[in-house]
Amino acid sequence: MELASKWYAVRVRSRHEKQTAKDLQSRGYEVCQACAPQRRVWADRTRVVDMPLFPGYIFACFAPSSGSDILRAAGVVSIIGFGGHYCPVEDAEIEAIRIVMASGVEVQREPMMIPGRRVRVCQGPLRGLEGVLDKIKSQQRLVVSLSLLQRSVTVEVSDFMLEPMAAHQSTGDCAAA
């Protein structure tokens, strides 16, 4: 007996979300790429571009018995699951993602910035400096305390210039845009 199709999270190679989605669609599967407008900063300009909400993942609707076909698609790494069984995503979650995508509102995919969290400046003249988020002045402006020469200075930067740091993370570049 064939189980009904459900939505599953599919892990894909880095920056292969669109290619993998096209391949799965050409195979007849319904796919949700989960892209939304996001602000991106380059050295010479700032633009709003469609970027994945969940980098490295897309969502596909299929019956579990079709898993081997999904795994053969271009760029697919794995299907999210536990104990050898694929773990379906609730229809309501996919619908919420689609509503966000259809709204056209700019979305920030980074983990929520909260005061007290370690952050790294990843854009602008302070790029590479690490500090602690002191306070949030507005949706777009954050105050960060940076330790320089064993002194603390406070600077005000835009939210898109920062990335939160994992507890064990201390060096490296910002996530690729």
Q: What is the pLDDT of residues 11-36, one digit of tens each?
A: 999 889 999 999 999 999 999 998 88
The reported pLDDT for the residue numbered 3 is 67
Distances (CA, A) of 24 to 71, 110, 176: 10, 27, 25
CA atoms within 13 A on the CB side of 120: 15
Q: What is the mean pLDDT of residues 91-101?
A: 90
The reported pLDDT for the residue numbered 177 is 38
Q: CATH top-level class for 6-103? A: alpha beta
Domain positions in the chain: 6-103, 118-164
Q: pLDDT-derived band of residue 167, with 50, 70 and 90 as boundaries?
A: low
CATH 1.10.10.10 corresponds to the domain 118-164: no
Is pLDDT of 108 > 70? Answer: no
Of 81, 52, 86, 65, the closest CA to residue 175 belongs to 52
Task: Output the furthest CA–CA distance in the chain (Å, rounded).
Answer: 68
- Going by C-beta distance under 8 Å and a sequence separation of 6 or more, which residues neighbour residue 165? 117, 118, 119, 120, 130
The reported pLDDT for the residue numbered 30 is 97
